[in-house]
Amino acid sequence: MKVLVLYDYPPSPGGLATQGDLLYKALREIGVNAWPVNSESAQEKEWYYNWFKPDITIGIGYWGHTPDLVIHSQKHGIIAVPWLVADGFLANYKKVLEDLPLILVTSEWVKQVYVRDGLSGKNIEVLPVGCDTDSFCPRGKNDPKVACIRHSLGVADNEIMILTVGGDAASKGAQEVMQALATINKKVPAWKYVCKVWPQPRTEQQNLLDFQLAESLGIRDKIVYTTNKISRNFMPYLMASCDIYAAPSRLEGFGMIQVEANACGKPVIGIKAMGLLDTMIHGQTAYLAEIGQKIVLKETILGRESGYEPNTKIVFDQPRVVDYRASVGDIAKYLLELMNNPDLCKKMGEAGRKRIVENFDYRVVAKKFVKIISERFGIN
């Protein structure tokens, strides 16, 4: 089997790039002849088509990347399989996707989104995102690399560290977490809430709003925001430095960082919806808050990134849920329980680690991919 993996290569620290890079590396590790290439590099892709002659391309992205992940390979006579996430609404390329022999998606929720928006689902199979469980593994607070991170964040040895990581914090549910922490502030041991976000203009604006909320809640002195570019080398130690990973995300097609937190032996607080229903087990590896609110739109504006002319107005035949908010009361209840019970944190973290190693290790995922391709196309 010869596989050309199309993604953001060389990989940036982002989720899609990590998803593709782990699949590529795992395929090589299990003996599959695979090569990586940037999905937007037409010249380099054609170079591989001509000398490598792949049996199949696997392209990582969302439906808006269909021209790069699917159409380009098809024009050169190559079987194209996209491995897609969702952004809440499938707006274009429906015929191209429906006519494919196979689409891989990251969770059952992503499949449901595509079916809701017009695909039959007959060619869609779920393949979870892999996790490097060798790097993301339990580490003690006395590990010097972990201790350095806690010190740099201003988290004392006796303080419980709650962590959220994202492009911005609000989209990962940080505002709901802050509201929950404010309600239990005097009922739990000393704590700090750390939000690691990516430096970009929209994040800077969102950070200001988050700080205003923290100030109004009276917990500003307990909130730590760190806005730096970091590599995948740093992430396992950042995750190991926390006691609880809290990300009841407003939109989550899989939950890669929640999975990485479990792999590090950390209990997770999430939302009982979307991709987390595939990756987390409520009450065993995580606490999943109920949905407190659904954000519904009747129309939207799309542009060239989605294959439309700029400022194209799309009116939905039925209103679409585009965002969720987790129940603040549930988050508070679960934080209270975990923060007052370190043995429970340890128990849930150990259960999470075991589940991730067995089901989401990147080599396990690669073997699932090979099995799917072999059964669907007869390629060995």
Does residue 301 form part of some domain? no
Q: In CATH, what number is assigned to the domain containing residue 345?
A: 3.40.50.2000
Same domain, 22 and 150: no
Higher pLDDT, 304 or 313: 313
Same domain, 163 and 82: no
pLDDT for res 186: 93
Does residue 315 form part of some domain? no
How far is the first Cα of the chain from the last one, in angstroms, to the nearest whole number?
Answer: 5
pLDDT at 26 over 90: yes
Same domain, 282 and 237: yes
Does residue 137 form part of some domain? no
Question: Would you place residue 234 in the very low, low, confident or very high pLDDT band (cuts 50, 70, 90)?
Answer: very high
Question: Is residue 266 a contact partner of residue 141, using CB atoms and an 8 Å limit?
Answer: no
Same domain, 171 and 79: no
Torsions phi, psi for 183 (to 5 deg): -80, -20
Same domain, 62 and 154: no
Q: What is the largest CA-CA distance in the chain?
A: 66
pLDDT for res 309: 87
Rounded distance between C-alpha atoms, residue 218 and residue 184, angstroms: 12
pLDDT for res 242: 98
Determine if the pTM surpasses 0.85: yes
Question: Is residue 177 a contact partner of residue 248, using CB atoms and an 8 Å limit?
Answer: yes
How many CA atoms within 13 Å lie on the side-chain side of 203? 17
Question: Is residue 321 a contact partner of residue 294, using CB atoms and an 8 Å limit?
Answer: yes
* Total domain count, the chain: 2
Does residue 17 form part of some domain? yes
Same domain, 121 and 156: no
Amino acid at 86: A
Q: Express each pLDDT in 327-345 by its tens digit.
A: 999 999 999 999 999 999 9
Same domain, 170 and 247: yes
What number is the average pLDDT over the span 236-256? 97
DSSP summary character for residue 129? P
Does residue 316 form part of some domain? no
Question: Would you place residue 203 in the very low, low, confident or very high pLDDT band (cuts 50, 70, 90)?
Answer: confident
Give the pair of three-digit tokens for residue 180.
């929950």
pLDDT for res 365: 98
Q: Express each pLDDT in 58-73 by its tens digit.
A: 999 999 999 999 999 9
Name the residue range of residue 51's domain. Answer: 2-130+361-377
Same domain, 105 and 206: no
> What DSSP string runs through 50-63?
HHT--SEEEEEEEG
Rounded distance between C-alpha atoms, residue 73 and residue 81, angstroms: 9
Kind of pairing between the strands at 2-7 and 33-38: parallel
Same domain, 36 and 183: no
Residue 164: beta bridge partners?
195
Does residue 300 form part of some domain? no
Same domain, 217 and 352: yes
